[in-house]
């Protein structure tokens, strides 16, 4: 007699699936998720463990993405330009003296270059997309319920 570990859905898995796939909240979509979960439980109970694992990994990635804060810029280079000689105590007072006096020696120019450190956001987003695709392999009927991304460039062409 062999003992099989039978997987079953947890209480929050329906909501976890809905939020992981970005499915909108309405009665029809919740019903579709419930039907897909029941179908998987009936036809392939071992697939529930795979789906739950995907949900856990997606939740962990979402938590990492939420906790990732915008990194402070890092100073790469600072350069200064200033007076080549000390500023005299007595500055010129007459207009003719000012013209002869090199006033650019009194100016100071500061240039600072910044760079943003590399973010882990894009790699985490790619990992999340992989987990969502794995979840959709187990629950393929839910692909129809995902919101479609609008085309990046859309508009009307008009003749003038």
pLDDT digit string (tens) for the chain, length 160 residues: 444 556 788 888 999 999 999 888 899 999 999 999 999 999 988 889 999 999 999 999 988 888 776 667 777 777 777 665 566 677 666 666 555 556 666 667 778 887 776 667 778 888 999 999 999 999 999 888 888 776 677 667 677 6
Task: State the DSSP string of 61-114.
Answer: HHHHHHHPPPPPPEEEEEEEE--SSPPPSS---SHHHHHHS-GGGG--EEEEEE
Residue 92: other Cβ atoms inside 10 A: 13
Global pTM value: 0.60
Per-domain boundaries in the chain: 13-68+119-145, 74-115
**pLDDT value of position 74:** 74
């Amino acid at each position: 007699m062999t003992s099989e570990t039978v997987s079953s859905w947890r209480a929050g898995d329906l909501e976890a699936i809905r939020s992981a796939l970005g499915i909108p909240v309405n009665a029809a979509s919740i019903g579709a998720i419930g039907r897909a979960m029941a179908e998987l439980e009936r036809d392939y109970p071992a697939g529930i463990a795979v789906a739950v694992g995907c949900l856990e990994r997606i939740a962990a990635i979402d938590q990492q993405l939420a906790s990732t804060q915008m990194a402070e810029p890092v100073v790469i280079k600072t350069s200064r330009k200033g007076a080549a000689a000390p500023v005299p105590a007595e500055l010129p007072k007459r207009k003719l003296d000012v013209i002869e006096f090199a006033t650019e020696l009194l100016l100071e120019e500061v240039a600072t270059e910044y760079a943003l450190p590399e973010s882990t956001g894009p790699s985490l987003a790619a990992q999340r997309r992989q987990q969502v695709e794995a979840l959709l392999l187990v629950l393929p009927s839910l692909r129809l319920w995902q919101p479609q991304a609008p085309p990046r460039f859309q508009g009307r062409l008009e003749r003038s």
